[in-house]
Amino acid sequence: MPNKLLYYRLIPVVFVLIALSIWLQPEFFQRAAGINLPNGQQPQLSQPLKVEKPCVDLHPEWRAAQVVDGVEISESLLCEPDNPYNIAAFVLGMNNISMRTLMSSRIAEDALIKSDDLDGDGDPDIIRIKLEVLELNGATPDSPGVFPTYDIAPGIQPGMWAFSPKLRGMSVKNFRSLKANAILRAPSPVIRVEQGDKVYITLENTHYFPHTLHFHGVDHAFKTSTGGDNDGVPVTGEKPVMPGATRTYELQPRHAGTMLYHCHVQTDKHLMMGLNGMFVVEENKPNNWVQTFNVGAGHVRHSSVAIKEKFDREYDLHYQSIDKNLAKTIQQSNDTREISKQMHRVYNMSESSENYFMLNGHSFPYTLRDALIIAKPDENIKLRVANTQHSNIAIHIHGHKATITNYDGVPVNPAAQITRDVYDLSAAQRVDLHLQTTNDGLHSYGEGVWLFHDHVEMGVANDGMSPGGNIALLVYESMLSEQGMPTVLREDALDDVMTNSYYAKQRPLWGKLEAGELAPDYLRIILFGLLIGLAIGLAIFIVRGLNKADS
Amino acid sequence: MKSISLFLFFCFITSPVFAAMNHGGMIMDEKGMIMNHNPDKLPKDCKEISEDVNITIRGGHKFAKDFPGKMFTYDKRDWQVPPCARVNVTFINEDDIRHQFMIHGLPGYMYPKGMFTIELYGKGQKTGSFIVPSRDYTYYIHCEVSQHTEKGMKGQLKVGKGSGDLDSILGLSAPLTPDLYPINNTHYTWLALIFSIIIGAFLIRLLTGLFTSKHSEP
Ligand SMILES: [Cu+2]
Ligand SMILES: [Cu+2]
């Protein structure tokens, strides 16, 4: 019996030990540093740091002005100029090009057929176009990654769709590569036709969801000549074009201007996934062979007769945005029913936000490779601007004030035209700008490397990481390097943003170190451990002792 | 390149005599193309053509109807031929859109990039040939039109015994990165679980009973 009493007396000691350990408990996860702050340390990167070259100079021979199959192709000093063989094919049609041009492009032979000079003015007037539907950065059952990869900026691969001229051959650079071939890209290509052309556009639905074509602002009858759907809206016309099926739409536009086309199936989602592009109707002129596709938008290397009469250069500027949650829906499954559910029912457009902002399919810094406006002093430049984001854009060109000549493809009375330095476009709107590079203190402040960008500030970041988004440059030729990069930049100016870790938000700005961590306080940890150990040991001793005394 | 283009140009202007022509390289017209057609050049390790194998393979949306959640495929996705066989492929596209029969892994010294391809821009068919080497190997067949491989259009050609099955072939092998699906549990699921637990408990009693009785007997 007295034995038992000893154990009872020891119980308070256990409680004292517990109280002591609580009082002396060390801070395990964070604490104040005291007087001296911790040293800086290298950031933790999820993949080894890789600095990309600002310009990978793959085709320097494509920059010069040249004639391919008799088609005049103007100089394009960009880092990534458009393939001149593609341009010749797009001007002549696949039925009028040489074998060499055909072999140097990746376009199917029936993608674009031009024939019949109906009005006898020296250019073809029946244009047959075939479009396919591309998926970039989609899911694959063969690896945890995405396929084919298309980076809008270093390391950024959102799931996207695009219309594409009908292609042929491989969709990747080679069998070992996952990278999309250069012609598989965003945005959907700009389509150009001549006013009065008889245009037959066939949607060949190569994709796993139903889609349609709708021509926004482009003159077209509600029905085709045979009574078929010609507006592309499933609730007023025919069922959408199912996977593996095709439908031909007919246009004969009477009015010239900068217009749009897009898919009208589940329009909110499909449009934002990238199934939208610019559609330009050029004035009818003699000998007017227009460049039917401008893949990747940007510089037009073979402008129409009317544009050449008034302007020195022409650029198509297509602004697009991506909601990363919508983009993700095509990357997480290979069951088309599940993808459809995630995109069309689980994802909610009314709760959407925009995370990535692109000009001509790229976000800064990749816009520097193919979305520059290049100019010389005293030039007249035509800019066709389209906004297919769901938020507004407010484009500002540093050092310049341009004149708005057209709204939504309709000319503004010259007396009422406005010259200003911010051009606002709400969803689906277009403006045509006349940019004059005359150094008069109004239209231009002289030569330079002038930024141009959306002034709605979320648009100049990549998922909140700045600089990014649709930032691009207006560069004067005298300030352009041989590789098409602006020369005033510091040698290392792009090293930060041209890494795979900057937009992953793992690289501190300005090359600084991360705030460091503190060393663990071993003295208190050991003391704490000892006290806890004593308490547990003593408790076991008491329980066992009491049991023994009982028996 | 120049000689190829010249040859192609020749093919192009004489398109009606394609079938009669017995050259390697590439054949193109407005209906599609055949790349690396090879009816006669033997791989280094083959003394002669062992056998002529004629294969007819159809591609299209309708063949995927039996595979829930998939969109395009071939009518048959698993083929086997003897070593050193000449394979004469007739590829038939049953859709109005573009499809390909593309095979990878052939010897690069005969087939540039190791590929043989038949591409059809729409409904129709084309026939081309290639000669396989002698080693046992499984070759990868697919259609590379955007997302077609991923959504079902993939197959394999085994030469000899082959070298195992490829992943993600409809009706043959599971995907490497599978989707997860919810399980349709009903009250029977839980009844089965509870019943099994109870049986398990009784089993333990039975076993311990046996154990103790065995040991206490002597
Ligand atoms: Cu659509
Ligand atoms: Cu296919």
> Residue B9 pLDDT more than 60?
no
Q: Is residue B57 part of a domain?
A: yes
Comparing CA positions, the residue from B83, B80, B77 lying closest to residue B132 is: B83
Counting ligands in written order, the one closest to the CA of B121 is 2
Report how far apart, in Å, the C-alpha atoms of A221 and of each of A254, A262, A388, B208 are.
11, 17, 24, 87
CATH code for the structural domain at A83-302: 2.60.40.420
pLDDT in tens, A452-479: 999 999 999 999 999 999 999 999 999 9
> Residue A38 pLDDT more than 80?
yes
A141 to B114: CB separation less than 8 angstroms, yes or no = no
B61 to A143: CB separation less than 8 angstroms, yes or no = no
> Residue A444 pLDDT more than 90?
yes
Domains: count for chain B = 1
| CATH assignment of the domain containing B84 | 2.60.40.420
> Residue B2 pLDDT more than 90?
no
pLDDT in tens, A388-406: 999 999 999 999 999 999 9
pLDDT in tens, A155-214: 999 999 999 999 999 888 877 789 999 999 999 999 999 999 999 999 999 999 999 999
Q: Which residues of A touch B61 (CB under 8 A)?
A: 242-245
| Residues with Cβ within 8 Å of residue A524, at least 6 apart in sequence | A24, A25, A26
> Residue A377 pLDDT more than 90?
yes
> Residue A126 pLDDT more than 90?
yes
pLDDT of residue A176: 79
Q: How far is A293 from chain B (nearest CA, A)?
A: 19
Q: Is residue B154 part of a domain?
A: yes
pLDDT in tens, B84-138: 999 999 999 999 999 999 999 999 999 988 999 999 999 999 999 999 999 999 9
Q: Quick count: other Cβ atoms within 10 Å of Cβ A64?
A: 13
Q: Please give the model's pTM, rounded to 2 decimal places.
A: 0.89
Q: How far apart are CA B5 and CA A97, in angstroms?
A: 13
What mean pLDDT, rounded, does chain A reach?
94
Q: Which residues of B touch A333 (CB under 8 A)?
A: 179
**Angle at A456 (CA atoms; ends A363, A327), nearest 5 degrees:** 45
Q: A69 touching B, CB under 8 A?
A: no
Element (H, E) at A546: helix A522-550
Nearest to B150 among A108, A141, A169 (CB): A141
> Residue B16 pLDDT more than 80?
no
pLDDT band at B213 (very low <50, low <70, confident <90, very high): low
Nearest to B168 among A142, A147, A205 (CB): A142
Q: Which residues of B touch A139 (CB under 8 A)?
A: 150
Counting ligands in written order, the one closest to the CA of A232 is 1
Strand B52-60's sheet: what is its strand order? B73-74, B52-60, B86-93, B124-131
Q: Is residue B177 part of a domain?
A: no
**Angle at B118 (CA atoms; ends B113, B121), nearest 5 degrees:** 125
Q: Is residue B142 part of a domain?
A: yes
Comparing CA positions, the residue from A191, A194, A146 lying closest to residue A166 is: A191
Q: Is residue B70 part of a domain?
A: yes
pLDDT band at A489 (very low <50, low <70, confident <90, very high): low
pLDDT in tens, A407-422: 999 999 999 999 999 9
Q: Is residue B205 part of a domain?
A: no
pLDDT band at B25 (very low <50, low <70, confident <90, very high): confident
pLDDT of residue A286: 96
Q: Is residue B52 part of a domain?
A: yes
pLDDT band at A4 (very low <50, low <70, confident <90, very high): confident
Q: Is residue B204 part of a domain?
A: no
Domain that holds residue B140: 19-159
Pairing of strands A257-262, A190-194: unpaired
Q: How far is the CA of A168 from the centre of ligand 2 (A)?
A: 11
Residue ranges covered by each domain of chain A = 2-31+522-550, 83-302
pLDDT band at A150 (very low <50, low <70, confident <90, very high): very high
pLDDT in tens, A209-241: 999 999 999 999 999 999 999 999 999 999 999
Q: How far apart are CA A359 and CA A371, in angstroms?
A: 7
Window 198-217 of A: residues touching B by CB (8 A cutoff) are: 204-208
Nearest to A334 among B114, B115, B179 (CB): B179
pLDDT band at A490 (very low <50, low <70, confident <90, very high): confident
